Amino acid sequence: MSKVDVSISKAGTVDFDKIREDFPVLSQQVNGHPLVYLDNGASSQMPAQVADRLDYYHRFEHSNVHRGIHTLSQQATDEYELTRKKIQAFINARHSEEIIYTTGTTDSINLVANSFGSLHFKEGDEIILSQMEHHANIVPWQMIAERTGAIIKVIPVDDRGDLDMEAYKNLLADKTKMVAIIHVSNALGTVNPAKEITDLAHESGAAVLIDGAQSAPHQVIDVQDIDCDFFTFSAHKMCGPTGFGILYGKKEILDEMPPYRGGGDMIDKVSFEETTYNVTPFKFEAGTPPIAAGIGLGSAVDYLNSIGMDEISRREHELVAYGVERLKRVDGLRFIGESENRASVISFVFDEIHASDMGTLLDKRGIAVRTGHHCAQPILRRFNVPATTRASLSFYNSKEDIDRLVDGIEYVKSFFE
């Protein structure tokens, strides 16, 4: 067994049929049918290269990080810290200290809401969110708003699923301290104009957090180009393991933020009289972290880079366009979210068929989709639906997967005729 991560040719066009073979999970039968995995928005699958890397770590490299002077601990620390550099390059951050390790997007947003919020928010200050946020980018802000007296303002979404940018401009005010926006909607697929949102917020003196949970796995991310102050994402949605994620923050802003959790590793000196803190990023990383998962994310980034995020994005756009073309011919199907700028997600409803029936019956044919409110209840309420069926795609999906989905939907419909 080796530590070598990836061996996919980058020359010319990428052979996505071959890439699919990297994902052993996809060659399984589910309920007697070959698996069609269309729930990548919830969690993507892991290629063998990343699974092998995790296995290698557990078998031969495991040790605690940042503490031991023994060789194994130093090796584990080096491998774990290497991920910071890989992520720095992956999102084009200026410094590797701007990459904070967290347990995922939810944790990253809670960190910013608590630490930045407790430092900067006061009574009457305003936080701007959008109607299409995931609950992870709503509830932490509500909690800090309650503690500080800040107020939440919401950008409405139009019938196609795009942000009302005029309404956004009107919401921005001197009192706006934070604009926290989803980059790609997990419920609609809309790709929001992160750079324009950020520029406008900065003109008003507000900080910006971009929730990149659904964008980082699917497109090139350049945080310096967006110029956002914070950017968040999760390893498990980008071919990596669960339990690990990233908070990017501009160094000067992170430096002045207080730690969010106390404990080992995040300190400089501790006494009962006074404790001083470690520097950024370590002051935000208390306790023993998920070391294997961190190394696994590094391996996942190597894997994605070996294909190329531009290739991944092109492939997924092709698949979404094909899916929309095929699905719009299905009688009675109504899309929820029809933005011109969409990525990786196709959400739909039928008036006569509840989404959970759709999901359950599709599963009988080996087709995995997510149904429900997708932890984005406000946007479903906006569209007057309690639930949708969501197919969320990855680069390893194929047109055949979409054909199977369409056949599956016709099969489900036959029960309700």
For the CB of residue 104, give the shortest distance to ligand 7TS in the complex, in Å. Answer: 3
Residue from 86, 177, 283, 370 in contact with ligand 7TS (CB under 6 A): 370
User: In this structure, what token pair is assigned to residue 151?
Assistant: 């107020």
Contact predicate 184/208, CB 8 Å: no
Contact predicate 233/216, CB 8 Å: yes
- Judged by phi (left if over 0) then psi (alpha if -120 to 50, else beta), residue 141 lies in alpha
Residue from 374, 382, 404, 413 in contact with ligand 7TS (CB under 6 A): 374
Residue from 40, 44, 88, 105 in contact with ligand 7TS (CB under 6 A): 105
Residue from 53, 66, 84, 134 in contact with ligand 7TS (CB under 6 A): 134
DSSP letter (8 states) at residue 60: I
Phi, psi of 60 (to 5 degrees): -125, -15
Q: Which residues contact 159 (CB under 8 A, 6 or more apart)?
A: none
Contact predicate 312/385, CB 8 Å: no
Q: Which CB, 235 or 319, lies closer to ligand 7TS?
A: 235
Binding to ligand 7TS (CB under 6 A): which residues in 284-343? none
Binding to ligand 7TS (CB under 6 A): which residues in 212-251? 213-214, 234
Question: Per rule CB under 6 A, is residue 389 in the interface with ligand 7TS?
Answer: no
What does the alpha-carbon distance between residue 208 and residue 127 come to, in Å, rounded to a whole number? Answer: 10
What does the alpha-carbon distance between residue 131 and residue 167 come to, in Å, rounded to a whole number? Answer: 12
Residue 281: C-alpha distances to residues 97, 235, 236, 284 (Å): 5, 18, 22, 6
Maximal CA-CA distance, the chain: 74
Q: Which CB, 22 or 39, lies closer to ligand 7TS?
A: 39
Give the type of residue at 242: T
Entry field: residues in the chain:
417
Question: Per rule CB under 6 A, is residue 182 in the interface with ligand 7TS?
Answer: yes
Active-site residue, selected from the candidate residues 30, 375, 385, 406:
375
Q: Which CB, 137 or 306, lies closer to ligand 7TS?
A: 137
What does the alpha-carbon distance between residue 177 and residue 127 come to, in Å, rounded to a whole number? Answer: 6
What does the alpha-carbon distance between residue 82 and residue 78 come to, in Å, rounded to a whole number? Answer: 6
Residue from 38, 40, 50, 104 in contact with ligand 7TS (CB under 6 A): 104
For the CB of residue 352, give the shortest distance to ligand 7TS in the complex, in Å. Answer: 25
Question: Per rule CB under 6 A, is residue 106 in the interface with ligand 7TS?
Answer: yes
For the CB of residue 155, give the shortest distance to ligand 7TS in the complex, in Å. Answer: 15
Q: Which CB, 116 or 244, lies closer to ligand 7TS?
A: 244
Q: Which CB, 217 or 408, lies closer to ligand 7TS?
A: 217
Q: Which CB, 213 or 291, lies closer to ligand 7TS?
A: 213
Please indicate whether residue 375 is annotated as part of the active site: yes
Q: Which residues contact 409 (CB under 8 A, 6 or more apart)?
A: 327, 330, 333, 358, 362
Is the omega angle on the peptide bond into residue 281 within 30 degrees of 0, that is, cis? yes
Count of residues engaged in binding ligand 7TS, rule: CB under 6 A? 17
Residue from 136, 172, 228, 291 in contact with ligand 7TS (CB under 6 A): 136
User: Beta 99-102 vs 245-249: how paired, if at all?
Assistant: antiparallel
Q: Which window, 211-219, 246-254, 315-323, 349-357, contacts ligand 7TS (CB under 6 A)?
A: 211-219
What torsion, rounded to 10 degrees, do the Cα atoms 244, 250, 255, 257 define? Answer: -70
Residue closest to 42 by CA, chosen among 128, 105, 125: 105
Between the two ends of the chain, the Cα-to-Cα distance in Å is 54
Question: Per rule CB under 6 A, is residue 186 in the interface with ligand 7TS?
Answer: yes
Q: Which CB, 241 or 281, lies closer to ligand 7TS?
A: 241
For the CB of residue 211, give the shortest distance to ligand 7TS in the complex, in Å. Answer: 5
Q: Which CB, 93 or 188, lies closer to ligand 7TS?
A: 188
Residue from 26, 30, 42, 151 in contact with ligand 7TS (CB under 6 A): 42
Question: Per rule CB under 6 A, is residue 368 in the interface with ligand 7TS?
Answer: no
Residues with catalytic roles: 375
The residues of the shown chain that bind ligand 7TS, judged by CB under 6 A, are: 41-42, 104-106, 134, 136-137, 182, 186, 211, 213-214, 234, 370, 374-375
